[in-house]
Every structure is written in structure tokens, then in C-alpha cells.
Amino acid sequence: MRTITAILTRLNMLLCIPRCETCGEVIDPLYREYIKRIDKGQTPKKIMNSIEFRKLEMCCKMRIQTTQEGIDMLLRQPSGK
């Protein structure tokens, strides 16, 4: 039986904006990678500093982190990390 979080994650992946609205860069594959890494317990800061995310413009990083799922995950992170 799937949990509500898993169902919402899958639904949000379907609703993710495939391109950055500001610069037009394709961000969907990186968004999916971001979600997978968050689920594995990595911090958003560590993910964004990794090589494949480092090359993104700031607008793309903002789009990835400010989806509803991204905001929910940031709120679940322990403070001080």
C-alpha cells in the first residue's frame, strides 16, 4: 500500500514544469533527481552544490526548490542543517 506522501510525490512529478519559466532551460530531469536525493536524506544545500546542479542558473534552482513538493520537503528538514 502506498503512502500519501508517495502518491503526492508521483502526482507532483507529473505536474512539474518541464522548463524554467525565466530562461527556458529544461529542468524536469534535474527536478526528479532532486526529489530522489531528498528522499534519500540529502540536504537541499548539498544537492544544489553537486556538479550537475552547480551549472544551473539561479532562476532554475529557484524553480526546483519552490515547487509545492520542494517547499514541503524543506519544511521537514531538521533545523540547523
Reduced to 3 states (helix: H, G, I; strand: E, B; else coil), residue 26 is: strand
The fold adopted by the segment(s) 4-76 is Arc Repressor Mutant, subunit A (1.10.10)
Q: Which pTM was predicted?
A: 0.64
Provide the angle, in degrees to the nearest 10, between the axes of the packed helices 68-76 and 58-65. 80
The pLDDT tens digits for 60-73 are 888 888 776 666 76
Provide the angle, in degrees to the nearest 10, between the axes of the packed helices 58-65 and 28-39. 50
Q: Please name every residue paired with 26 in a beta bridge, in sequence order, or none if there are none.
A: 19
The pLDDT tens digits for 22-81 are 888 888 888 888 888 888 888 888 988 888 888 888 888 888 887 766 667 667 766 655
Q: Which amino acid is at 46?
A: K
